[in-house]
Amino acid sequence: MDILLYNTLSGKKEPFVPLKAGAVGMYHCGPTVYDDAHIGNLRSYVFADTLRRAFEYNGYAVKQIVNITDVGHLTSDADEGEDKMTKALKRLGKPLDLESMKEVAGIYEGHFVRDLGLLNIETPTSLPRASEHVQKDIELIEALEGKGFVYKAGDGIYFDTGRFPGYGALGKPRGQSADGKAEDGKARVVNPEKRHPADFAVWKSDPKLGWESPWGKGFPGWHIECSAMSREYLGQPFDIHTGGVDHIPVHHNNEIAQSEAAYGEPLARYWMHNAFLTMNAGKMAKSAGGAITLGALAENGIDPLSYRYWLMTGHYRSPMDFSYDAVKAAQNAYRRLLEAVAGYPEGGSAVESARKRFAEAIGNDLDMPAAIALAWEVVKDKAIPDADKRATLLDFDRVLGLKLGTAPRSAGDVPSEVTALAEERERARAAKDWKKADELRAEIEARGFEVKDAGTGFSLVPKR
> Does some domain include residue 439?
yes
* CA–CA distance, 67 with 224 (Å, rounded to integer): 12
- Give the pLDDT score at 456: 55
Is 180 inside a domain boundary? no
- Residues of the chain with pLDDT > 90: what percent? 67
Please state the rounded mean pLDDT for residues 190-198. 87
89-144 pLDDT per residue, tens: 888 888 888 888 888 889 999 999 999 999 999 999 999 999 999 999 999 999 99
Residue 80's pLDDT band, with cuts at 50, 70 and 90, is low
Kindly state whether residues 344 and 415 are assigned to the same domain: no
Average the pLDDT over each of 98-102, 306-310, 365-369, 446-450 and give the range with the smallest value.
446-450
DSSP 282-303: EE--GGGT----HHHHHHTT--
Instruction: Tell me the pLDDT of the chain averaged across its residues.
Output: 89
Residues 368, 225: one domain?
Answer: no
Mean pLDDT for 250-278 is 97
Q: Tell me, what's the pLDDT at 263?
A: 97
Give the Cα separation of 88 and 91 in Å (integer). 5
Residue 395 lies in a domain: yes
Segment among 247-261, 331-345, 398-412 with least mean pLDDT? 398-412
The reported pLDDT for the residue numbered 416 is: 73
What's the confidence (pLDDT) of residue 186? Answer: 38
Among 130-139, 208-217, 285-294, 318-327, the least confident range: 285-294
How would residue 176 be classed by pLDDT, with cut points 50, 70 and 90?
very low
**Residue 293 maps to a domain:** no
289 class by beta-carbon count within 10 Å (0-12 exposed, 13-18 middle, 19+ buried): exposed
Residue 388 has pLDDT above 70, yes or no: yes
Residues comprising the chain, all counted: 464
Residues 106 and 137 in one domain: yes
Instruction: Give the number of other Cβ atoms within 10 Å of residue 325's Cβ.
Output: 8
Within 13 Å of residue 179, how many CA atoms lie on the same side as its CB?
6
Closest CA to 232 of 9, 33, 45, 65: 65
Q: What is the pLDDT of residue 398?
A: 98
Q: Which residue has the higher pLDDT, 24 or 278?
A: 24
Task: Note whether residue 52 is domain-resident.
Answer: yes
Whether pLDDT at 289 is above 60: no
Among the three residues 380, 400, 420, which one is the final residue of a domain in this structure?
400
In this structure, the answer to whether residues 348 and 314 fall within a common structural domain is: yes
d(CA 191, CA 216): 20
Distances (CA, A) of 376 to 313, 344, 390: 12, 14, 12
User: In terms of Cα–Cα distance, which of 33, 119, 41, 113 is closest to 73?
Assistant: 33
Number of domains into which the chain is organized: 3
pLDDT of 358 > 80? The answer is yes
Which residue, among 234, 235, 244, has the nearest Cα to 126 in the 3D structure?
234
The band of 184, judged by pLDDT with boundaries at 50, 70 and 90, is very low
- Regarding whether 242 and 381 lie in a shared domain, the answer is no
pTM for this entry:
0.84
**Confidence class for position 407, pLDDT limits 50, 70, 90:** confident
The verdict on 118 and 246 lying in the same domain is yes
3-class SS of residue 94: coil
Does one domain contain both 248 and 112?
yes
pLDDT for the residue numbered 51:
98
Same domain flag for 270 and 363: no
Q: Residue 42 and residue 45: Cα distance in Å, rounded?
A: 5
At residue 191, the pLDDT reads 79
Nearest-CA neighbor of 194 among 225, 151, 163, 164?
A: 151
Max mean pLDDT among 32-36, 181-185, 329-333, 420-424 falls in 329-333
Mean pLDDT of 428-452: 84
State the residue range of the domain holding 329.
301-400
Give the model confidence (pLDDT) of 203-253 as tens digits. 999 888 889 999 999 999 989 999 999 999 999 999 999 999 999 999 999
Question: Do residues 54 and 89 share a domain?
Answer: yes
